[in-house]
Amino acid sequence: MSAPAVEVTEHTNRRGGGRLGRKALRGAPIASFPTLVRQIPTYQMVPDEAVELIHLESLSILEEVGCEFRDDEAIAMWKAAGADVSETRVRIDRALLMELVSKVPPEFTLNARNPQRSVRVGGTNSIFVPMYGAPYVRDLDNNRRYGTLADLNNFHKLAYMAPALHSSSSIICEPMEIAVPKRHLHIIHSALKHSDKPFMGIVTSRERAEDTMAMAGIVFGEDFVRDNPVLVSITNCNSPLVWDATMLDAMKVYARHNQPLILAPFALCGASTSASAVGAVAQVNAEALAGVAFTQLLRPGSPQIYGQFMVTVDMKTGAPMGGTPEAAQMMYVMGALARKYRLPWRTSGFHVGSKLNDAQAGYEANMLMHAAILSGANYIWHSAGWLEAGLTCGYSKFATDCEQLVGWYKYAGGLPFDDFKEAMAAIREVGPQGHFLGTQHTLDHFQSAFFIPSIMDFNSFEQWKAEGAKDHDTRGREKARNMLADYEEPKLDEGIADGLKDLIALREEKLPDSVS
């Protein structure tokens, strides 16, 4: 078993170097980890018999209760496929369902505009993706306020700078000052301009999805994006058991372009599902499978991602909770189902309920990321920035999450034995009562042997106090500032950059300034 072929240490913006050091760093290529290939076993929380029971109950839900598809074209397609359709209710025979689901490839390549940043999704591969959809930010001065386009630009820059993030997402925060009908153009432009990693699409209308594909076509070439995955988009089933017209419109655009969608019910367990972890999984699995199957009516063999977003509801207040044990347990079962179906699958990593980047956020995040890694998730979303049940993206949280991802990357990469003989030789060299600091083995391996964070503080109390007695949240904001100071844009070709600007200008002329 070998470790990932990359040095997983966290060196950027250490105390040394200062301004000149940062200037020198700007001339170096931005570090980026390749796809994480997990070298540790997956953990199955329940026996195969329990997985099969949930699977069969999910099939029964779709056969007996059915799922709403609130779109005329979708209904016509299900009828043509042989499903039992009554108005917008679709009951899907299990043989038909599983035949469609089986058409999804178990792995695919997600292409970046910089081919060196392309990643694999599915199998034993995992990628980390930052959060999506926050109306608020907790800024560099620790104020909570509405997000702006400048904030979105900054988060895309941070995603580009973070070696363990494999994607720039898209709507990390909402640029609230831009009119909603035009907002999507600036979101996608920011993702494409400020990072050369894979990104995510817009799903709030068919027209906006088409604009996203047009912009991708300018960057990658229209012929390329017709068949090759360059972005991932999220479509949420409205639990319980409703795929609405907006989500179905987005599915049609992206699936027909061979672009992967995350088919993920948004479940508040105890409110939009029964108050049962296993009951919730059975329902969510049915919803996700119905969505996956529909994509194969649109384009058989198109790559897709089986997904879930499942958090429990605080039964005292009705508020969604983040890193609870039940959320982790449900993740393990969804992972087992994904392996049964041989589907790439998405979950979330650091989606916490805490309002601040505090101890609660750390406890919640650790509970969830452990489950995401050990359950074998392929697309680990909401892995940087998430606060307050997704309402807020925090600069400090983003930076500290990115540092933790470096550690998780190393954890999931397995325990290397490559230097075991040399380590044993060092013991014989030093003998009793010596130390290893000056041995050749230590000199050769000190930078890569252990995770070396730059935000977490392991100094003595006296040293910590002398350096300002800063808490983790404060150090995270400082890290984010330094990363932004070091940022250099991965330039687009001039013709491509102009093409994007021209498309945005043309579309803005035609789009209204407000939602009617």
Q: In the predicted model, what is the mean pLDDT of residues 248-269?
A: 95
d(CA 321, CA 360): 12
SS (H, E, C) 40-67: CCCCCCCCHHHHHHHHHHHHHHHHHHCE
d(CA 26, CA 13): 11
Answer whether residue 493 shows pLDDT above 80.
yes
Confidence of residue 15 (pLDDT cuts 50, 70, 90): very low
In this prediction, what percent of the chain has a pLDDT beyond 90? 87
- The answer to whether position 510 is within a domain reads no
What pLDDT does 29 receive?
61
Residue whose token pair is 């300002």: 468
CB burial of residue 279 (10 Å; 0-12, 13-18, 19+) = middle
What pLDDT does 516 receive?
67
105-164 per-position pLDDT tens digit: 999 999 999 999 999 999 999 999 999 999 999 999 999 999 999 999 999 999 999 999
What pLDDT does 13 receive?
37
266-292 per-position pLDDT tens digit: 888 888 888 899 999 999 999 999 999
**How far, CA to CA in Å, does 113 sit from each of 196, 229, 294?**
5, 11, 29
- The answer to whether position 212 is within a domain reads yes
**How far, CA to CA in Å, does 373 sit from each of 5, 108, 349, 377, 407?**
19, 19, 9, 6, 12
- The answer to whether position 59 is within a domain reads no
Confidence of residue 10 (pLDDT cuts 50, 70, 90): very low
316-343 per-position pLDDT tens digit: 888 788 889 999 999 999 999 999 999 9
Q: Which of 395, 368, 390, 393 is nearest to 380 (CA)?
A: 368
What pLDDT does 315 receive?
80
**Cβ neighbours of 315 (radius 10 Å):** 11
SS (H, E, C) 388-424: HHHCEEEHHHHHHHHHHHHHHHHHHCCCCCCCHHHHH
Answer whether residue 392 shows pLDDT above 80.
yes
Question: Could you tell me how many residues make up the chain?
Answer: 516
Answer whether residue 435 shows pLDDT above 80.
yes
What pLDDT does 68 receive?
98
Would you state the structure tokens that stand for residue 357, as one six-digit string? 């980047």
What pLDDT does 353 receive?
93
Q: In the predicted model, what is the mean pLDDT of residues 207-219?
A: 98
Q: What are the phi and psi torsion angles at 136 (to 5°)?
A: -115, 160
- The answer to whether position 418 is within a domain reads no
Residue pair 157/169 in contact (Cβ under 8 Å)? The answer is: no
Residues 6+ apart with CB under 8 A from 21: none
**Cβ neighbours of 32 (radius 10 Å):** 20
Q: Which of 277, 239, 290 is nearest to 98 (CA)?
A: 290
> Residues 216, 190, 410, 377: what is their CA dihedral angle, to the nearest 10 degrees?
-50
Helices (H), 13-148: 18-26, 48-60, 72-81, 94-101
What pTM did the predictor assign? 0.93
What pLDDT does 181 receive?
97
16-27 per-position pLDDT tens digit: 334 443 343 344
The CATH number of whichever domain residue 325 belongs to comes to 3.20.20.480
- The answer to whether position 436 is within a domain reads no
d(CA 242, CA 277): 20
- The answer to whether position 265 is within a domain reads yes
Q: In the predicted model, what is the mean pLDDT of residues 202-230?
A: 97
Number of domains in the chain: 1
Q: Which of 103, 55, 59 is nearest to 255 (CA)?
A: 103
- The answer to whether position 187 is within a domain reads yes
- The answer to whether position 472 is within a domain reads no
**How far, CA to CA in Å, does 286 sit from each of 94, 102, 133, 446?**
11, 15, 25, 49
CB burial of residue 200 (10 Å; 0-12, 13-18, 19+) = buried
Q: Could you tell me which residue, 163 or 1, shows the higher pLDDT?
A: 163
Q: In the predicted model, what is the mean pLDDT of residues 347-370?
A: 95
Domain limits for position 143: 84-94+97-413
